[in-house]
């Protein structure tokens, strides 16, 4: 068998490299293609100038590629519902009010009270008077204090109460008759401390839950009941609906009530503060 001359073989390899995948070429050609070494040309002419060598890896600029997350799997196909904090943080204005109406909560749109500074404003203020909990009686849960809050807080509060109501009712053997929350909006600093940052209450994003009352006159107060199994379960559930949950044992300022808010936080590890 007579092998082709070196120049002819080189020309064949050049043509093959142009049309064949790299992995199908002979090992020598792959190596030449990877390192940029010149191939021989027909007729023994001068080889083309060598390719510039790649700069050291430390000089190659890094490129950040942002890959979008896939869409959420529909609930009908086994996907999970969006966490309340996801929907609350992105629902504002008329869209939020429409969502709140769908819960059948009783509320009225209001203006932020005028007796505070310009920093103490609510984006979508509502006065929340009652919640329509999903039970067979169709009764509503009155909110004794009729708090003024941001619509986003109202949505989260409604979702939380709807979740925990069955356990509350079962624990006391009677339906809920009311829950006290404080006024909601207050133009003040955090924990009323001089020089502290503005409280989330100042923007209608927080509530202080004090007491759950039942139709049989039973009561479940936050104060003194930190170890009550029912209170512990409703407190744990709050962490799924709010970005901040503070109560007895947290910091000395919340021994008598459960503070819940929907302050927007950075996602990830520090997205929630439940204590």
User: Would residue 104 be called left, alpha or beta, if left means φ above 0 and alpha means ψ between -120 and 50 degrees?
Assistant: left
* pTM metric for this prediction: 0.65
Q: What is the mean pLDDT of residues 129-135?
A: 84
Given a cut of 70, whether residue 234 has pLDDT beyond it is yes
What are the structural domain ranges in the chain?
Answer: 1-41, 81-274
Q: Has residue 233 got a pLDDT over 70?
A: yes
Structure tokens at 203: 């923007």
In this prediction, residue 254 carries a pLDDT of 61
- On the question of pLDDT at 35 being above 80, the answer is no
Average pLDDT, the chain: 73
Reported confidence tier of residue 163, pLDDT bands at 50, 70, 90: very high
Provide the total of helices (H) and of strands (E) in the chain, helices listed first: 6, 11
- The pLDDT of residue 104 is 93
Q: How many whole angstroms separate alpha carbon 1 and alpha carbon 30?
A: 26
Tokens of 251: 């910091």
Mean pLDDT score, 14-36: 45
Instruction: Check pLDDT > 80 for residue 3.
Output: no
In this prediction, residue 113 carries a pLDDT of 83
Residue 138: pLDDT band (50, 70, 90) is low
**Per-residue confidence band for 63, with pLDDT thresholds at 50, 70 and 90:** very low
Mean pLDDT of 107-126: 89
Give the model's pLDDT for residue 191: 77
Grade residue 109 by pLDDT with cuts at 50, 70 and 90: very high
Rank 90-94, 117-121, 186-190, 228-232 by mean pLDDT and report only the highest. Answer: 228-232
Which has more pLDDT, 99 or 17? 99
């Amino acid at each position: 068998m007579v092998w082709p001359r070196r120049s002819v073989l080189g020309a064949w390899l050049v043509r093959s490299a142009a049309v064949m995948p790299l992995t199908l070429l002979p090992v020598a050609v792959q190596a030449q293609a990877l390192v940029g070494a010149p191939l021989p040309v027909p007729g023994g002419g001068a080889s083309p100038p060598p390719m510039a060598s790649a700069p050291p890896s430390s000089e190659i600029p890094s490129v950040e590629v942002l890959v979008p997350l896939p869409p959420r799997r529909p609930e009908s196909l086994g996907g999970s519902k969006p966490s309340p904090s996801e929907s609350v943080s992105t629902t504002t204005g008329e869209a939020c009010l429409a969502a709140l109406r769908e819960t059948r909560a009783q509320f009225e749109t209001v203006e932020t009270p005028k007796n505070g500074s310009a920093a103490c404003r609510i984006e979508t203020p509502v006065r929340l008077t009652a919640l329509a909990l999903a039970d067979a009686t169709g009764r509503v849960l009155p909110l004794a204090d009729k708090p003024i809050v941001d619509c986003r807080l109202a949505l989260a509060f409604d979702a939380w109460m709807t979740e925990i109501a069955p356990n509350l009712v079962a624990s006391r053997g009677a339906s809920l008759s009311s829950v006290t929350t404080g006024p909601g909006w207050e133009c003040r600093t955090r924990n009323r401390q001089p020089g502290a940052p503005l409280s989330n209450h100042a923007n209608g994003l927080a509530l202080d839950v004090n007491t759950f009352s039942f139709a049989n006159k039973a009561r479940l107060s936050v104060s003194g009941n930190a170890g009550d199994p029912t209170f512990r379960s409703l407190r744990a559930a709050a962490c799924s609906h709010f970005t901040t949950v503070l109560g007895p044992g947290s910091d000395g300022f919340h021994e008598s009530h459960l503070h819940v808010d929907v302050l927007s936080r950075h996602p990830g590890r520090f997205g929630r503060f439940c204590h």
